[in-house]
């Protein structure tokens, strides 16, 4: 029996989700997409998981869509997609703001887990609220400002907000409440 196309490992509060098709550059096909959805649902159901790192087995993270699979479904489709895609060096992705940091290959997983652990120990409700604000920011400016002020007010008086302010005033590291 072959290994699953997507593997999930839990390391404390961090889940490591690994695309496991190294022979194809971890290219995405229908099976991988379904397995990724299952992995996301597994992580979402596990209250101990507070951050997720997505990685790829082998030398490459992910080539993108599986052109062979696309080509089998739509003649000429794989060639068309190949024409549209281009290689993007890490430094250029950094300069465009597509990534926050560039590290050497051998440091990548350790650094990703380090960042995920830091996020997992933080104010996850506030992080989630911030993500929702960013997602809604593509709407009208006035409604974004109302949503932002309501979110800030709600989180400032919550457990995480009170602990964050107390820790700041006490000049100590905050101990955010974690929901299990």
Read off the pLDDT of residues 109-140 as tens digits, 9 standing for 90 and up: 999 999 999 999 999 889 989 988 888 777 77
Task: With respect to residue 179, please indicate whether it lies within any of the assigned structural domains.
Answer: no
Task: With respect to residue 70, please indicate whether it lies within any of the assigned structural domains.
Answer: yes
Task: With respect to residue 178, please indicate whether it lies within any of the assigned structural domains.
Answer: no
Is residue 18 domain-shared with residue 75, that is, in the same domain?
yes
Alpha-carbon distances, residue 32 vs 15, 67, 82, 102 (angstroms): 17, 14, 20, 26
pLDDT of residue 179: 62
% of the chain surpassing 90 pLDDT: 53
pLDDT tens figures, 24-46:
999 998 899 999 999 999 999 99
Spell out the SS3 assignment of 109-158: HHHHHHHHHHHHCCCHHHHHHHHHHHHHCCCCHHHHHHHHHHHHHHHHCC
Is residue 63 domain-shared with residue 140, that is, in the same domain?
no
Is residue 109 domain-shared with residue 20, that is, in the same domain?
yes
Using the 3D structure, point to which of 102, 120, 138 is the last residue of a domain: 120
Provide the edge-to-edge strand list for the sheet that holds 14-19. 6-11, 14-19, 51-56
Task: With respect to residue 139, please indicate whether it lies within any of the assigned structural domains.
Answer: yes
Is residue 11 domain-shared with residue 85, that is, in the same domain?
yes
- Asked whether the whole model's pTM tops 0.85, one would answer no
Is residue 18 domain-shared with residue 105, that is, in the same domain?
yes
Task: With respect to residue 103, please indicate whether it lies within any of the assigned structural domains.
Answer: yes
pLDDT of residue 78: 67
Is residue 89 domain-shared with residue 108, that is, in the same domain?
yes
Whether the CB-CB separation of 43 and 17 falls below 8 Å is answered with yes
Is residue 78 domain-shared with residue 145, that is, in the same domain?
no
For residue 50, count other CB atoms closer than 10 A to its CB.
21
The total of structural domains in the chain comes to 2
CATH number, domain containing residue 78: 3.90.226.10
Domain range for 139: 124-170
* pLDDT of residue 70 exceeding 80: no
Is residue 91 domain-shared with residue 136, that is, in the same domain?
no
């Amino acid at each position: 029996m072959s290994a699953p196309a997507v593997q999930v490992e839990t390391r404390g509060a961090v889940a490591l989700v690994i695309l496991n098709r190294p022979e194809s550059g971890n290219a995405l096909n229908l099976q991988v997409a379904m397995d990724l959805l299952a992995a996301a649902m597994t992580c979402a159901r596990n209250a101990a998981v507070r951050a997720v790192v997505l990685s790829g087995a082998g030398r490459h993270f992910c080539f993108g869509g599986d052109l062979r699979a696309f080509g089998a479904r739509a003649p000429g489709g794989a060639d068309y997609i190949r024409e549209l895609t281009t290689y993007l060096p890490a430094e250029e992705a950094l300069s465009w703001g597509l990534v926050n940091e560039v590290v050497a290959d051998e440091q990548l997983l350790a650094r990703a887990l380090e960042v995920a652990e830091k996020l997992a120990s933080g104010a996850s409700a506030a992080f989630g609220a911030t993500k929702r604000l960013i997602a809604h920011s593509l709407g009208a400016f006035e409604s974004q400002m109302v949503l932002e002020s309501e979110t800030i007010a709600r989180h400032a008086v919550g457990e995480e907000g009170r602990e964050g302010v107390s820790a700041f005033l006490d000049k100590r590291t905050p101990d955010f409440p974690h929901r299990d």
